[in-house]
């Protein structure tokens, strides 16, 4: 991968594992300075393994004041912020008749309000050529029973992406969404083999995605200079199969 990052600074949320860690690693390998954010304390050790130009901060994206303080510390320490990747995610499922109010609020707070908090407090430091990449999900665009909270949060993130693409264009900041399909991560580990196999069979490419495959697209989107307000699926063709019998 061509090194085009120079001293650019990336912030990646939900970066201690899965897609977030793959994105952080991809950016670091391209020469960027990368700040990994995650709720758990282990993110500081994960960052050390990610590369010498990586640092980790424990941060709960649902806590606006905490996010504000961490973003200020990042800017004061590194002198700039160029790319923000909102990947932090939380999932709780359940048919609507049994969905707990707490689960609904926790999912929305992390996936949607959390992204808003990070964007709100980092946008002050973003300038011409900066980029925001929000990580969505197919479920935000295609209905799956029992996934109303997660679907609503990701659909809302899509709306936020579109609105901010227009709002921040005046600053020369791009805002796009990458939409992973079924990627085997910690978030999907509680699904049964039967459920996973059923979902795999709906994917035109007939296989699960890899975190690295999503990360490569996130990197490309973050470095694209004339694309904003775009939704980019990385889903093995799943979103293209709407209406196609299984």
Residue 219 a catalytic site member:
no
The answer to whether 179 and 240 are in contact (CB under 8 A) is: no
CA distance readout (Å), 211 to 21, 153, 170: 9, 21, 33
Hey, what long-range contacts does 240-243 have (CB within 8 A, 24 or more apart)?
Answer: 240/204, 241/202, 241/203, 241/204, 242/142
Give 183's strand partners: 209
Exactly one of 125, 150, 208, 219 is catalytic; name it: 150
Tell me how far apart the terminal alpha carbons of the chain are, to the nearest angstrom. 37
Cite the DSSP H helix spans in the chain. Answer: 18-29, 43-50, 64-78, 101-108, 114-122, 148-167, 193-200, 211-222
How far apart, in whole angstroms, are the C-alpha atoms of residue 82 and residue 53?
15
The answer to whether 29 and 51 are in contact (CB under 8 A) is: yes
The DSSP-derived string for 64-106 is HHHHHHHHHHHHHHHS---EEEE---------TTT--HHHHHH
Beta strand pairing call for 174-180 and 54-58: unpaired
Residues with a known catalytic role: 150
């Amino acid at each position: 991968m061509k090194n085009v990052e120079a001293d650019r600074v990336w912030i990646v949320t939900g970066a201690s594992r899965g897609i977030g860690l793959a994105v952080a690693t991809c950016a670091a390998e391209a020469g960027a300075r990368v700040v990994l954010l995650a709720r758990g304390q282990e993110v500081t050790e994960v960052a050390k393994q990610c590369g010498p130009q990586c640092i980790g901060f424990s941060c709960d994206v649902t806590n606006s004041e905490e996010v504000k303080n961490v973003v200020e510390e990042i800017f004061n320490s590194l002198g700039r912020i160029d790319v923000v990747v909102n990947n932090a995610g939380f999932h709780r499922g359940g048919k609507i008749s049994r969905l707990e109010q707490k689960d609904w609020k926790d999912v929305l707070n992390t996936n949607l309000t959390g992204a808003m908090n990070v964007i709100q407090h980092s946008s002050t430091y973003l300038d011409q050529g900066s980029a925001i990449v929000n990580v969505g999900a197919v479920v935000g665009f295609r209905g799956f029973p029992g996934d109303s909270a997660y679907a609503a949060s990701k659909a809302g993130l899509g709306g936020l992406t579109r609105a901010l693409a227009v709002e921040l264009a005046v600053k020369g900041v791009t805002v796009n969404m990458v939409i992973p399909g079924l990627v085997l991560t910690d978030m999907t580990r509680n699904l049964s083999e039967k459920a996973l196999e059923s979902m795999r069979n709906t994917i035109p490419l007939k296989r699960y995605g890899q975190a690295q495959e999503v990360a490569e697209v996130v990197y490309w989107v973050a470095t694209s200079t004339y694309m904003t307000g775009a939704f980019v699926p990385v889903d093995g063709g799943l979103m293209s199969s709407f209406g196609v019998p299984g």
